[in-house]
């Protein structure tokens, strides 16, 4: 487990509620980590809007036909979630945790579909213009947690959870997403980061793993000697 930390705050002004984002490939365990963070730290959780996307089942059945429609839905919906996160942070002192971000939608999922020829150059230009416009309107999270997981484990987890629209996902698709995720995360510098090897660390069942993750999150959200982000039970 590793990552990059932010400089210490000056301590002169009240800190706004912390916003944590969880990134990672399909099957990496994002939703499980979001729920765990909600329980451990009392965070307000925002989950990925998969079930809301009216194009998703059609997309997995015919990617070239439905790629642009599906990605536009995700991009706009994710932007709305980012804005709702900021509204909630302004009204509620509790920290916030978000399942996936606008950056991944554009720089991983849509980028793969463009590379694969499912989104042509004209549509890709329009999509990129919209992405850049929306990206300027959101505040980056205070911490980006990246879940890294081997492809074999991702495939097994996706098969076990049994979502109908995921059964036709080819292994090559997951491999391409994994490559793009690694490239995107290597260049991400908008906030402190934390990498969790989600096939190795069992923060739900194993105490030492749990304390390792908790300590890493607290240190990155509150660098320096000041008070750390409290656990819900504290």
Give pTM, 2 decimals: 0.83
Q: Provide the percentage of residues in the chain whose pLDDT is more than 70.
A: 81
pLDDT at 123: 96
pLDDT at 199: 77
pLDDT at 168: 66
Q: How far apart are the first and last CA of the chain?
A: 25
pLDDT tens digits, one per residue of 114-155: 999 999 999 999 999 999 999 999 999 999 999 999 998 888
pLDDT tens digits, one per residue of 60-106: 789 899 999 999 999 999 999 999 988 887 888 888 999 999 999 99
pLDDT at 166: 67
Lowest mean pLDDT among 1-10, 36-45, 168-177, 179-188: 1-10
- Residue extents of the structural domains in the chain: 18-221
Q: Nearest Cα to 158, choosing from 143, 177, 180, 142?
A: 177
pLDDT at 7: 46
Superfamily of domain 18-221 in the CATH hierarchy: P-loop containing nucleotide triphosphate hydrolases (3.40.50.300)
């Amino acid at each position: 487990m590793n990552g990059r930390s932010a400089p210490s705050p000056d301590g002169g002004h009240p800190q706004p509620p912390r916003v944590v984002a969880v990134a990672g490939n399909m099957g990496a365990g994002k939703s499980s980590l979001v729920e765990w963070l909600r329980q451990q730290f009392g965070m307000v959780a925002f989950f990925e809007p998969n079930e809301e996307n009216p194009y998703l089942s059609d997309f997995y059945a015919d990617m070239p036909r439905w790629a642009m429609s599906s990605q536009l839905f995700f991009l706009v919906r994710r932007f709305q979630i980012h804005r709702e996160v900021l509204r909630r942070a302004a009204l509620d002192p509790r920290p916030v945790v978000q399942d996936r971000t606008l950056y991944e939608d554009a720089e991983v999922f849509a980028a793969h579909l463009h590379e694969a020829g499912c989104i042509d150059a004209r549509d890709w230009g329009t999509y990129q213009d919209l992405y850049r416009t929306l990206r300027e309107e959101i505040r980056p999270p205070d911490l980006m947690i990246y879940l890294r997981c081997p492809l074999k484990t991702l495939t097994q987890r996706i098969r076990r959870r049994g979502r109908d629209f995921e059964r036709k996902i080819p292994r090559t698709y997951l491999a391409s997403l994994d490559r793009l995720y690694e490239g995107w995360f290597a260049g991400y510098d908008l906030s402190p980061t934390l990498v969790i090897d989600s096939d190795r660390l069992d923060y739900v069942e194993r105490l030492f793993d749990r304390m390792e993750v908790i300590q890493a999150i607290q240190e990155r959200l509150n660098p320096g000697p000041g008070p750390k982000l409290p656990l819900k039970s504290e």
